Amino acid sequence: MEREKVAIIGAGVIGGAIACAISDDFQVTATRRKIERLSPLAERGINITSDNDKAVSEAEVVIISVKPYQVIPLLKNLSNGLKDKLVISFAASINLDLMQRVIPDSRVVRAMTNIAVQVKEGYTVYSCGKNVTDSDKNVITKIFEDMGEYEEVDEQHLDVLTAMAGSSPAYLYTVVEAMIYGALQVGLPRDLALRAAAWSVIGASHLLLSSGKHPAELRDMVVTPGGVTIDAIYALEDGKVRTAFMKAIRDASLKAQRLARDACDEAERQLGKEN
């Protein structure tokens, strides 16, 4: 069976990861302006070009993975070619309504994922525009399945989910790095410290998801009275780690919402100028 053709416009960090994750099941063409940086994708059999128009014209599905401020100008440039196509944007903060105003004749999906797509273990959340069909949904879920876990959500949650799902690996790497440094301080070899921290994150996550238990209950099961863990928990509470994480998620969510407002204001200015 002929594989569906997908164009990925802006194959940088996340677009490149998506290209690799779906390339067994879809015929992928990846674009960016600095085409020489796409050679690792070409080595994996992915078509590469810096010609967005050509990539779009040959594709049935178009994935947009440029920076948020580049999305609206890009969609305007490509609007003729995008007519009647399914367009999936992974850009933070650029909402469905805004994209739909610029490409009214396309079927638009807004999605957020994370860097674990590189190992096909991303977590993708998405919302569909009004005219997305059931057959589009089949294609969308096939793409997202190749990237890891996925679920459809109400668009109103996508800015907070950018902070929770899209950005989360960065927070976890910060935690893991700090844990490794703690272990180095008391003499554990570097590679052993890294494996201990990373496998603990994976195991703890799987247990959390499969047990259905609240994280506080699971934490309590680890804390042996008079034992080792309680001294770590005491130090973490003393360092206000929970407040720090709550602030981090709140601030990142507010930033996503502010970027969304700025993008709308800028688009209004541009669209106003054209009318």
Ligand X SMILES: NC(=O)C1=CN([C@@H]2O[C@H](COP(=O)(O)OP(=O)(O)OC[C@H]3O[C@@H](n4cnc5c(N)ncnc54)[C@H](OP(=O)(O)O)[C@@H]3O)[C@@H](O)[C@H]2O)C=CC1
Ligand Y SMILES: O=C(O)[C@@H]1CCC=N1
Triad 11, 93, 101: Cα angle to 5°: 90
Nearest alpha carbon to residue 26 among 65, 60, 64, 66: 60
- The least distance separating ligand X from the CB of residue 248, rounded to whole angstroms, comes to 16
- The least distance separating ligand X from the CB of residue 60, rounded to whole angstroms, comes to 19
Measured from the CB atom, the residue of 55 and 259 that comes closer to ligand Y is 259
Residue 208 binds which entry of ligand Y, ligand X, none, with Cβ cut-offs from 5 to 8 Å by kind? none
Point out the residue whose Cβ comes nearest to ligand Y.
166
- The least distance separating ligand Y from the CB of residue 67, rounded to whole angstroms, comes to 8
Measured from the CB atom, the residue of 9 and 139 that comes closer to ligand X is 9
Angstrom distance (rounded) from CA 251 to CA 25: 38
Nearest alpha carbon to residue 107 among 79, 86, 123, 135: 86
Q: 78 phi and psi, to 5 degrees?
A: -95, 5
Measured from the CB atom, the residue of 12 and 73 that comes closer to ligand Y is 12
Which residues are CB-contacts of 127 (< 8 A; sequence separation ≥ 6)?
96, 109, 110, 111, 152, 153, 154, 155, 158
Could you list the residues that contact ligand Y (CB under 6 A)? Answer: 92, 162, 166-167
Q: 149 phi and psi, to 5 degrees?
A: -85, 155
Q: Return the exposure string of 3-16: e unless at least 16 CB atoms fall within 10 Å of the residue's CB, then b.
A: ebbbbbbbbbebbb
Residue 10 binds which entry of ligand X, ligand Y, none, with Cβ cut-offs from 5 to 8 Å by kind? ligand X
Triad 181, 184, 185: Cα angle to 5°: 90
- The least distance separating ligand X from the CB of residue 31, rounded to whole angstroms, comes to 5
Measured from the CB atom, the residue of 136 and 159 that comes closer to ligand Y is 159
Could you list the residues that contact ligand X (CB under 6 A)? Answer: 9-10, 12-15, 31-34, 52, 65-68, 70, 74, 90-92, 112-115, 166
Point out the residue whose Cβ comes nearest to ligand X.
12
Measured from the CB atom, the residue of 86 and 92 that comes closer to ligand Y is 92
H or E segment and range at residue 85? none
Q: Is 138 known to sit in a ligand binding site?
A: no
Q: Cβ distance 125 to 109 under 8 Å?
A: no
- The least distance separating ligand Y from the CB of residue 167, rounded to whole angstroms, comes to 5
Residue 74 binds which entry of ligand X, ligand Y, none, with Cβ cut-offs from 5 to 8 Å by kind? ligand X
Binding-site residues for NADPH, in ranges, read 52
Binding-site residues, in ranges, read 52
